[in-house]
Amino acid sequence: MRKLSALHRLCTLLLLAGTAFGQDAALEKVLTQMDQHATDFKNAQANFVWDQYTIVVGEHDLQEGDIYIRRLPKPEMQMSANITKHNGLRMAKVVLFADGMVRLYEPNLPRVTEYPVGKNRAEFESFLVLGFGGSGHDLLKSFEVKFLENENVQGISAAKIDLIPKSEKVRRMFSHIVLWIDVSRGVSVQQQFFSIDGDYRLAKYSNIRLNQKISNDVFKLKIPAGTEVVRP
């Protein structure tokens, strides 16, 4: 009986070791493919659905629109999100990150709210490139990264990886982040950010186009005279 028990434990350990090795190998493959695609990344544009779930009230808040991300030579990342629907109803709102500033433009008010990112700029930009132009192995500098599985997302076989922030400051915002990476292009087709209280933000990206021409006007706000500017 003891021999069988010992043999069982040994088999279990070998199985676990083999599984861990397989996950490590799968993760290394994903990170390497992301590295390769990151060297060629100039910009991306896509349609998105952002789902903000609040666990206390059990409600989903949905926003839909188009997103544009580009890398400038400095290097500097810029992002513009044109939100066209809120919970299925038409709306107009633009979120722009450029020149170290986040600007929220609400033309129906009309109002622009400005948020300087200041010394947090590098950290903010690192979240922008999660799955869009960022190096795979660079993730290891800021996160504990684990390969979970391959999963079909929107008809794409995506590598699902889990990121746990190393920074305590970041962990207070997000307990962990899940990315679904289309390894054939090195971009994320889905992202899920979990807060410590159980809320999450699920972002789904479709019709992703890489390194196509994007007008500079996309990264500028066209603000009519009389628009209120607020700086909290």
pLDDT of residue 21: 46
pLDDT of residue 17: 46
Residue 30 predicted with pLDDT over 50: yes
pLDDT of residue 127: 83
pTM (predicted TM-score): 0.87
Percent of the chain with pLDDT over 70: 90
Residues spanned by the domain of 105: 2-230
Residue 45 predicted with pLDDT over 70: yes
- Which has more confidence, 20 or 216? 216
Residue-wise over 71-85: b if at least 16 C-beta within 10 A, else e?
beeeeebbbbbbbee
Give CA–CA dist 26/207, Å, rounded.
26
Give CA–CA dist 123/28, Å, rounded.
24
pLDDT (average), residues 189-214: 96
Residue that has been written with the tokens 């043999």 in this structure: 7
Annotate 151-198 with DSSP letters as a single string. EEETTEEEEEEEEEESSHHHHTT-SEEEEEEETTTTEEEEEEEE-TTS
Helix (H) or strand (E) holding 4: helix 2-38
pLDDT (average), residues 155-162: 96
pLDDT of residue 62: 97
Give CA–CA dist 232/228, Å, rounded.
13
User: Are the beta carbons of 62 and 113 closer than 8 angstroms?
Assistant: no
**Quick one: 203 exposed, middle or buried, by C-beta within 10 A (0-12, 13-18, 19+)?**
buried
**How many distinct structural domains can be found in the chain?**
1
Which CATH number is 109's domain given?
Answer: 2.50.20.10
Mean pLDDT, the chain, whole residue set = 90
pLDDT digits 0-9 by tens, 161-200: 999 999 998 899 899 999 999 999 999 999 999 999 999 9
Give CA–CA dist 51/54, Å, rounded.
10
pLDDT of residue 19: 47
Nearest CA to 69 out of 221, 224, 210 is that of 210
